[in-house]
Structure 1
């Protein structure tokens, strides 16, 4: 794979791997300070395709808002990915940590709004050659990530957003 330069991550070194990236010291568009930014490539990826793919990241605020809408819509279904992710953090983490994490006196008062307000963008991945997972935004509860669980908004090539839970 040729040497390429990301306008967000700088020079990329894919080496023998199809994945390259870096931590974003200043974030993108004010979001994701300290977030990881990953580019998934293969032998067909070139600088022009990378540049085109990174254009989607020019307005991360809009992408984060779209992810929030997808997460909120899912919270109406108690068996959805977003609901199960929220419930994991409210039920599997000690109460004291839940209170610190959500800045509340008791976990019982963590509403959907409080939950959504505490999602923090911790990772961004683009896969310019992919068809089903072109862009992914990884969110964790709080910047200190008390668990290794991520709520992920994934865009396909058609711009459709789906929600995934990863750990």
Structure 2
């Protein structure tokens, strides 16, 4: 059995499961209390690999900024993942709830800026051994998450960011 220590989640024991995680405590810069943090691994994952993977999380503000650059770029294409994610929240939620959620008077007032300003990090996953999905930041609309939809910024080993929509 492989026993590891995460600087964010504390003691980890993968046992028979390939995933370990915890709800992040308050005070971790950029995440806030209540965000889920998941580490994908198995008995082959060692402390050095985990430490290296978690080092990327030390500058959360830069990661979030890179995610927002990717989201903003996608909003220029109405068929993009980010645009479709936005549409789900504007079309599948009653207008009164949309107005409360985005702090606007009408759905039409939800501009790109208003939309982006209401995205919050609710989950983080690292996969030190992966090649395609090494790091993922899950974003939701508002802390109360009116839907189970997530907008996910994913980094690969080449530090390329792609956007995914997950439910």
TM-score (norm 1): 0.97
Worse-matched range after superposition: 108-117 or 42-51: 42-51
2:16 equivalent to 1:24: no
| Residues 27/150 of structure 1: CA separation in 2 closer, same or farther (3 Å cut) | farther
Residues 2 and 15, structure 2, Cα contact 8 Å, conserved in 1: no
Query: Where in structure 2 are there 5+ consecutive unaligned residues?
Result: none
Quote how far apart the aligned CAs of 1:14 are: 1.4
Residue aligned with 1:69, SS: helix
Count of aligned pairs = 167
1:25-44 alignment runs, 5 A limit: 25-26=25-26, 28-44=28-44
Aligned partner of 1:156 in structure 2 is 156
Residue aligned with 2:165, SS: strand
**Cα distance in 2 for residues equivalent to 1:107 and 1:25:** 34
Residues 95 and 107, structure 1, Cα contact 8 Å, conserved in 2: yes
TM-score (norm 2): 0.97
RMSD between aligned alpha carbons?
0.9
Quote how far apart the aligned CAs of 1:161 are: 0.2
Aligned partner of 2:10 in structure 1 is 10
Residues 138 and 152, structure 2, Cα contact 8 Å, conserved in 1: yes
Worse-matched range after superposition: 30-39 or 96-105: 30-39
| Runs of 4+ off more than 4 Å | none
